[in-house]
Chains A and B, each alone.
Chain A
């Protein structure tokens, strides 16, 4: 009986959001967003864990013996792929912002356009 993994997920999420809000560098902001997103991996995997269960891979093991939920693990895989896609686009936009305004500070870029 423990809620620790969920609490860890909540903590990672909050720290990531705080990092995004206080960020002074677009690259740092992208990393913070990845941290926020990784809280969903922790949450998904802990939701699918079955007590005394092993990985849902039945090599040398009876089919149907206690194992974690494969659905959330597959979802985590999707989550990771989406995270890669998002960070690639953000980094590309950061490069463009730097090329146009000469800075990677989100506040500095806002000043330029405003």
Chain B
């Protein structure tokens, strides 16, 4: 299809789609006029039944825990897909890389501080995910982001331990598989898949919420590793060809 024909089709298509969208919106209750019932029910029952004060995480890891397992495997499949698409075994991967330093010391210093701060906030979001706002997914992305910052402010060498797939691959498996194992443990003990088996503890403490805490950590590990693996794959494919230029600076 030529560019001009595409533009000619696009106009009416967008107008039609926009009109349908507007029609659909007109049928929705006004903003803030929520009719429920699931939100109201969950906000009432999750805290007493699961001892987790963050109802969003209680929903994610318990009420619809099976969905979240699917979600985790989607991420896992994406990592596998990217790895397979980008892996090129012919390239020598162990090439020693020159150290690249950011020219500005202040930027470097701020960056290094941010690596530590980001990692801490990420771990905090993971650990307290089922009590205060946060959770394994959010904390995992933030922790991985902080580690990636190490690549920006440091050098290939500083970052290398965090792109070691002999270390990341098994850990990613532990995260994704751990989730399934918690579910299967419930199945083995004679109840439904992913039933909350463990002691619920006292509401508002780190030892509360039973298997939600374990699933939260499993997904935190899986997400952190998935992000690092994705970045490592892109780095391998994309940055390595720029190496000669890089080394000259």
Judging by beta carbons under 8 Å apart, are A57 and B39 in contact?
Answer: no
Shortest distance between the CB of B231 and any CB in chain A (Å):
9
Which of B55, B77, B81 has its CB near the most chain A CB atoms (within 10 A)? B55
* B residues in contact with A74, CB < 8 Å: 56, 59-60, 64, 68
Judging by beta carbons under 8 Å apart, are A59 and B53 in contact?
Answer: yes
Query: Which residue of chain A has the shortest Cβ distance to B67 in the bound complex?
Result: A78
Q: How large is the interface on A (under 10, 10 to 19, 20 to 34, 35 or more residues)?
A: 35 or more
How many angstroms from the CA of A59 to the CA of B54 in the assembled complex? 8
Q: Is B132 an interface residue (CB 8 A)?
A: yes
0 or 1 for each of A52-90: is its CB under 8 Å from B? (1 = yes) = 110111110001100111111110011011101110110
0 or 1 for each of B92-117: is its CB under 8 Å from A? (1 = yes) = 00000000000000000000000000
Query: Which residue of chain A has the shortest Cβ distance to B32 in the bound complex?
Result: A51
| Residues 37-88 of B at the A interface (beta carbon under 8 Å) | 38-39, 42-44, 46-48, 53-56, 58-60, 64, 67-68, 71, 74-75, 77-79, 81-82, 85-86
Judging by beta carbons under 8 Å apart, are A59 and B131 in contact?
Answer: yes
Q: Is A95 an interface residue (CB 8 A)?
A: yes
* Chain A residues in the interface with B (C-beta under 8 A): 1-7, 10, 13-14, 17-18, 21-22, 46-53, 55-59, 63-64, 67-74, 77-78, 80-82, 84-86, 88-89, 91-93, 95-96, 107
New contact pairs (6) apart from A5-B31, A56-B55, A56-B56, CB-CB < 8 Å: A50-B32, A70-B42, A70-B43, A71-B39, A77-B135, A81-B71
